[in-house]
Amino acid sequence: MTIQQNATDPLQLDISGMTCAACAGRVERALGQLEGVTASVNYATERAILTGLSPDEADLAVRRVEKAGYGARVHDDADDAWSRRATEVRITSLRRRLLVAAILTVPLMDITIVLALVPGWRFPGWEWLCIMLALPIVTWAAWPFHKATLRNLRHGNVSMDTLVSLGIAASFGWAVTSLLLGIGQDGAGYWLGFGVTPEGANSIYLDVAAGMTTFQLAGRYFETRSRRKAGDVLGALGQLASTHVRITRDGSESIEPAASLRVGDTFVVLPGETIPADGTISAGYASVDTSMLTGEPVPKDLSPGDNVVGGTISTNGRLEVCATSVGAHTQLAQMAALAEQAQSRKARVQTLVDRITTYFVPAVIALAILVTLAWMLAGTAFQDAFGIGIAVLIIACPCALGLATPTALMVGIGRGASLGILVKGQDALEASGTITTVVLDKTGTLTAGTMTVTGTATPEHIQEHDLLRVAASVEQGSEHIIARAIMSAAKKQIADLEAATDFNIVPGKGATATVSDKLAIVGNRALLAEHGVALNFNEPNGTELHENPAETTVFVAVDGKLIGAINLADTIKPGAKKAVEALRKQGLKTVLLTGDSKAAGDYTASLLGIDTVLSEVLPADKAEAVRALQTQGERVAMVGDGINDAVALAAADLGLAMVSGSDIALKSADVILVRDDLAVIPDAIALSRKTLKTIRVNLVWAFGYNVAAIPIAAAGFLNPLIAAGAMALSSVLVVYNSLRLQSFLSSR
Separation CA 659–CA 667 (nearest Å) = 11
Separation CA 21–CA 356 (nearest Å) = 10
Sheet holding 38-42, edge to edge: 38-42, 47-51, 11-16, 71-74
Separation CA 626–CA 636 (nearest Å) = 7
Distances, alpha carbon 424 to alpha carbons 168, 651, 661, 739, in Å: 42, 16, 16, 19
**Cβ distance 172 to 209 under 8 Å?**
yes
Separation CA 180–CA 146 (nearest Å) = 24
**Cβ distance 658 to 643 under 8 Å?**
no
Radius of gyration of the chain (CA): 34
Separation CA 275–CA 290 (nearest Å) = 10
Give the helix ranges, DSSP H, for 118-205. Answer: 126-136, 143-154, 160-181
Separation CA 312–CA 82 (nearest Å) = 25
Give the helix ranges, DSSP H, for 58-125. Answer: 58-67, 80-117
**Cβ distance 373 to 41 under 8 Å?**
no
The closest of 239, 654, 216, 233 to 408, measured between CA atoms, is 233
Separation CA 204–CA 202 (nearest Å) = 6
- State the pairing for strand pair 300-302/286-289: antiparallel
**Cβ distance 657 to 649 under 8 Å?**
yes
- Active-site residue, 441 included: yes
Active site residue: 289, 354, 441, 570, which one? Answer: 441
Cα dihedral across residues 702, 704, 706, 712: positive or negative = negative
**Cβ distance 319 to 286 under 8 Å?**
yes
- DSSP-derived 3-state class of residue 662: coil
H/E element, 745: none
**How many other β-carbons are positioned within 10 Å of the β-carbon of residue 650?**
17
Active-site residue set: 441
